[in-house]
Homo-oligomer: A and B are copies of this chain.
């Protein structure tokens, strides 16, 4: 009986302690969310980054402006340290806007919307005009007669799979056409490449994105462009009636020697484990067509906001906490690689990294790349997130910029916002500040700050 009593007492004590911890945590989360929604800075920051600075492709003047401005803003937050980490980045420019048309018979043309893929070479000065061969995949290209490819423009037209709930999965199932399409087509003597835009909506906006020529020599490279989904459907239907139509594309893009750029880093020194680092970040560069509000202006300002929210709430992190604004995610990943390289050289022990690079939409949860013990720990916090409608805690890939930090024991996490609208805007000229909802952005920042707080509190 006495023992039972003791056990009961111990259990009660345990529950009380657990209850108190839970209560302390839920108070802290409430504080974070309330501050973000009532006195957040993320929206105001994004307005500046998107509307005053604008598109900021690596190597551009605007990218350097973004570096300077974010460094300045981080400087105002009273962090322990703010600095620039040098990194050489590729420079590619679009030049005069592209144009293209379908020529059903000589002189009879229909304009369609295209844009050069990032890294593509230009067409010949007068444009590239050729017959078109439509395929649905890289595999199909390998199987068709080679003489139906030679001298043609290869048109990759496999659409994103609309019945997948996670639109990133649909993107992953298509993007090989964009990334490797030219490299494959070259092998069979194609003179150009057109890729259906990675967009689930039917509209007239072409969506750019990175592509690779592998080890091709300059003279071997062929121009590669994205065509809008409406344009792709039109071209496909015209081709089915008359496979002999010509397609004319005119692109003026150009690659330049690498230029100097920077990752922007801010740090709060940890009180208990100053030599253990936690990183929260997004990428500062963007494509050049819109203003990069969702990709990844949102991730940039949310990451900055994480440190501000924690400071505002009076929380002193035990681990050293860094915000890292990575340069060149879009067409080189040089910033992410450089950050990991330097961390490795300096033997900085990174224990946690969180990336936001999936748009500024309503947050739904996190994708976690970590071992089972840490995953169990993180999922034990689900009840704390319930009031904020954060339900998704899945194992999986975190993000491109923090992935180079991967090693045993580290917890890598990616914020997972609602993905339904992302590919309407991704890499297209409608990725603009108007497409941002203030509350969604702020909820994302608060959700990130909450995870950082919990990781910092409970990670040993």
Contact = CB atoms under 8 A, between A and B. Distances in A.
B362 A420 contact: yes
Contact of A162 (B389, B420, B439): B439
Nearest to A30: B163
B362 A165 contact: no
A364 interface: yes
A74 to B, nearest CB: 26
B38 A162 contact: yes
A92 interface: no
A188 interface: no
**Copies of the polypeptide in the assembly:** 2
Nearest to A36: B163
Interface in A376-416: 387-389, 391-392
A200 interface: yes
A392 B389 CA distance: 8
A135 interface: no
A132 to B, nearest CB: 26
Given A37-B163, A163-B33, A163-B38, A420 B440 contact: yes
A301 interface: no
A20 to B, nearest CB: 24
A380 B223 CA distance: 55
Contacts of A165: 33, 387-389, 443
A187 interface: no
A424 interface: yes
Given A37-B163, A362-B362, A439 B388 contact: no
Contact of A437 (B37, B163, B420, B440): B420
A37 B162 contact: yes
Contact of A34 (B163, B418, B420, B421): B163
Given A34-B163, A420-B437, A420-B443, A364 B389 contact: yes
A438 interface: yes
A201 interface: yes
Contacts of A440: 420-421
A364 B165 CA distance: 13
Contacts of A418: 362, 418
A75 B271 CA distance: 70
A73 B389 CA distance: 37
Given A163-B38, A165-B33, A421 B437 contact: yes
8 contacts: A37-B162, A165-B388, A165-B389, A165-B443, A362-B418, A364-B389, A391-B392, A420-B440
Given A420-B439, A421-B437, A421-B440, 11 more contacts: A165-B388, A165-B443, A362-B362, A362-B418, A362-B420, A389-B391, A389-B392, A391-B391, A418-B418, A420-B437, A421-B439
10 closest cross-chain pairs (CB), A and B: A391-B391, A34-B163, A37-B163, A420-B439, A37-B162, A420-B440, A362-B418, A38-B163, A362-B420, A421-B437
